[in-house]
Structure 1
């Protein structure tokens, strides 16, 4: 992929890095701590895009040739946002809540350069089968999903055995709607 700009991925996520690499982009990773709070009353479907923009605002574009990409993924069950679990009990609570239900995975993305900024998002519906307590315990113990929204990674064991179907982009659930990001980056 011949992208003639210096792409900076502002994310520690190994999954986002892998997805961008597989999409053919070369990039540098640059990260900083950004407060991931959002205004109370923000509609859940707007939170991921808000946080991606907030992360983007934390960076200054130094050179004309740089393009920065930030992202945030949330899991929405009914109107509750399930972020990253704090501990084992929190992960178990989230997976128990998701068991046997449909939920939404929403990823917001901010791409910016010196001359422009684009924000986008994508939503995928995920349908979990009913999970047993043993399956939930096995997954948390063996995969430690503490860095994942909703306490799971679709590309891991639980996604293989516990998800009946999805509607939308698989890669969005992994953490980046690659099809939309690819098109947006080409516009830079």
Structure 2
């Protein structure tokens, strides 16, 4: 069985590679937008579109995933500018937010859909800390403007749930792949 990750995320590639050595990376070219306002429905739909986009062109078991950060029910996407990153980090300062990842695994033409929700609390951040973090460059390609696995970990007071979900690849996906017959390497 051929395993395909439909993502260009180096973090997803790294986590999948910890468990399975043999897989291909074929990023989907679809937009990360959906018609859903509900965060969970949104990430599942985007993951589903990514997976089908790659599956229709390639044989194998395809994994699509999408991650968002939500605060008070509002999705905080990937910031486009340093100013937008600073604004997002200011909103998250001292508050609990949710990181939600939706996934779609297409195996032998059938979908396995799921999601994971992790709660994350940021410390109270002052302006200098936000300026410093944005100056590292880490914030611009990440939902919610931070990466917990890098320097952004210092912003976090606590998490409740799957740490790997906060990075964008929940362990539920790994478990599903093992159930489908993929062997850990």
1:46-61 matched pairs, under 5 angstroms: 46-59=41-54, 60=56
Deviation at 1:58, TM superposition (A): 1.4
* Counterpart Cα distance in 2 of 1:48 and 1:125: 16
Q: CA deviation at 1:38?
A: 1.0
How far, CA to CA, are the matches of 1:17 and 1:145 in structure 2?
A: 19
TM-superposition CA deviations, 1:26-45 (whole Å, max 9, x none): 211101321111115x3123
- In the alignment, is residue 174 of structure 1 matched against residue 167 of structure 2? yes
Provide the C-alpha distance between the structure 2 equivalents of 1:61 and 1:68, rounded to a whole number of angstroms.
Answer: 11
Distance 2:51 2:132 in 1: 36
Q: CA RMSD in A?
A: 1.4
3-state SS in 1 of match to 2:29: coil
Q: What is the CA-CA distance between 1:61 and the residue it aligns to?
A: 5.5
The equivalent residue for 1:34 is 30
Q: Which runs of 5+ in 1 are unaligned?
A: none
- Pairwise CA distance, 1:158: 2.3
Checking the alignment, whether the CA contact within 8 Å between 1:56 and 1:111 is kept in structure 2 is yes
Q: Distance in 2 between matches of 1:62 and 1:157?
A: 36
Using the size of structure 2 for normalisation, the TM-score is 0.91
Distance 1:166 1:177, change over 3 A: same
CA contact (8 A) 2:68 2:143 kept: yes
Aligned pair partner of 2:99 in 100, 105, 113: 105
Give the direction of change, closer, same or farther, for the CA distance of 1:156–1:62 in structure 2 (3 Å limit): closer
Aligned-residue offset at 1:186:
2.2
Q: 2:19 aligns with which of 16, 23, 26?
A: 23
Cα pair 1:108 1:119 within 8 Å, conserved: yes
